[in-house]
Amino acid sequence: MFQHLWIYVSIGLLSGLHVPITGQAIQATGGGVIKEGEDLELKRPTVEKWKECTWRFYKDPNKPSTCTFNATSGEVVDPVCSSSDAAALMEYTGKSANECSITVKGVSNQINGKWTVEIDTSGNQTEIQIVVANPVESGEIVVGNQGIVRAGETSNVTCILHGGRPAPAVYLQVVGLEKSHVVSSSQTQIANETGHFESRFWVEIRPTPEDFNKTVECKSNQMDQMNKSLFQFKANSAVLNVMFGPQPMSEQKYKVIENMDIVVSFEFMANPKPTLVKWNVSQPAKDPGNEPAMREEVNDNTTSTEVPKADAEGQSVTFTPGHSDDKYVVSDIIDEGNAKYRANFTIKNVQLSEATNKYHLDVENSEGMTQYGFNLVVEPKGPGGGSNDATDESGASVWLIVVILALITLFVGGAIVIYKKKMRNNETQPLNTGRRP
């Protein structure tokens, strides 16, 4: 599993829409990308000492705001600006005669756009595009068609982000999705007249039932030209509502002792919830005259002793949830959560002959139907109430214990008798003095 398989894209970085810069000679805070309210420094280094330096801001393309700084006397004098607003906007902050630097204090969205600088009335202007960064305003994740995807079919998972300047780098993740389930990915980022982006990033996936309820996450990061993070955004997560039919499993085998009850239980995955559950019992084809009739199930929880029509495999009967009699009980389907369900079928007083029956469970929902087969292994009941093998083994054990206890009793009893007899002889025999009478 790829628990952290983030799929990434930033159209802005790839296509040059992020921050177009044509004048590399201008050094700017954040490479020209700055958050609103921060101070922006613009610096134009020069090889030789400059005498005149003119900065222009093209808020109005036809009438830029202009300030010209003069250093003919060796010191920078008050600028000549096109307006009082321009004079308030541009503050000279150069620290040497080989640079022409200004600072825009507490930038606002109003200074977003094209700036140029010209040294010594050369006519050559160096340009930089200043971007005042704004965060992504909102975003959402769209999964498939109205939140539904189907197992084995190709569907889109889309992250949509509204707003944001510069263009955000977008990351999309389906937590736990295997890489092989990703078919392709694509994206668009379109800027409006103010340079704010509408970003769409979608991934084509081909999910499996195991992808049901997996979490989809989308986040973004906006950075300046120095790779410093400015804003991060995370959309509300979504889940994959994968639709699929009841999932198959191998045939099951259940062991039971003759005359005992058994509960046959199947746990399976399905989405949506099954709408049809049927248990089927089929007897092998035999002579109807020598066999008792099998009861035929009716969906209103009643039974009949009529013999149903026999097919090539003999008699068969079907039971649905809610049925209950002295032989079969069918419980309602149990929802165990996370698209897992359990169906239970109780067979009472199982007989040896029932081992030859054929059994299966049919489960159906809107996505398909699956049949689950099972069979019974019926062990004969021994005289002790269990199986013959178990009775023989337990009986032999009991007899062995009895024999051992009897032998121990005989040995202890014999030892006591011999001991008492010897003591009696010692008490009645005269003392031997070694003299003849």
Cis-peptide into 272, omega within 30 deg: yes
Which of 218-233 are b and which e, b meaning 16 or more Cβ less than 10 Å from the residue's Cβ?
A: bbbbbbbbeeeebbeb
Cβ(142)–Cβ(160) below 8 Å: yes
- Of the CA atoms within 13 Å of residue 189, those in its CB half-sphere come to 25
Cβ(347)–Cβ(265) below 8 Å: no
Backbone phi and psi for residue 150, each to the nearest 5 degrees, phi listed first: -115, 140
Rounded Cα distance between 279 and 199, Å, is: 52
Domain 133-243: give its CATH superfamily. Answer: Immunoglobulins (2.60.40.10)
Reduced to 3 states, what is the DSSP secondary structure of residue 329? strand
Cβ(40)–Cβ(34) below 8 Å: yes
pLDDT tens, position by position, 5-51: 566 554 443 333 333 334 348 999 999 999 999 999 999 999 889 99
Q: What is the pLDDT of residue 110?
A: 95
Cβ(143)–Cβ(149) below 8 Å: yes
Could you tell me the fold of the domain covering 252-379? Immunoglobulin-like (2.60.40)
Q: In this structure, how many other beta carbons lie within 10 angstroms of the beta carbon of residue 79?
A: 19
Q: What is the pLDDT of residue 414?
A: 73
Taking Cα atoms as reference points, which of 244, 161, 165, 148 lies closest to residue 202?
161
Low pLDDT (below 70) residues in the chain: 1-24, 286-314, 383-399, 417, 419-437
Q: What is the pLDDT of residue 60?
A: 93
> 144 CB contacts (<8 Å, ≥6 apart)?
150, 155, 156, 157, 241
Give the DSSP letter of residue 284: P
Could you tell me the fold of the domain covering 13-132? Immunoglobulin-like (2.60.40)
Cα–Cα–Cα angle for 251, 269, 245, rounded to 5 degrees? 90
Q: Which two tokens stand for residue 345?
A: 């079928």
* Bridge partner list, 304: 296
Check if 13-132 and 252-379 are the same fold: yes
Taking Cα atoms as reference points, which of 205, 166, 172, 173 lies closest to residue 189?
166
Domain regions of the chain by residue span: 13-132, 133-243, 252-379, 394-425
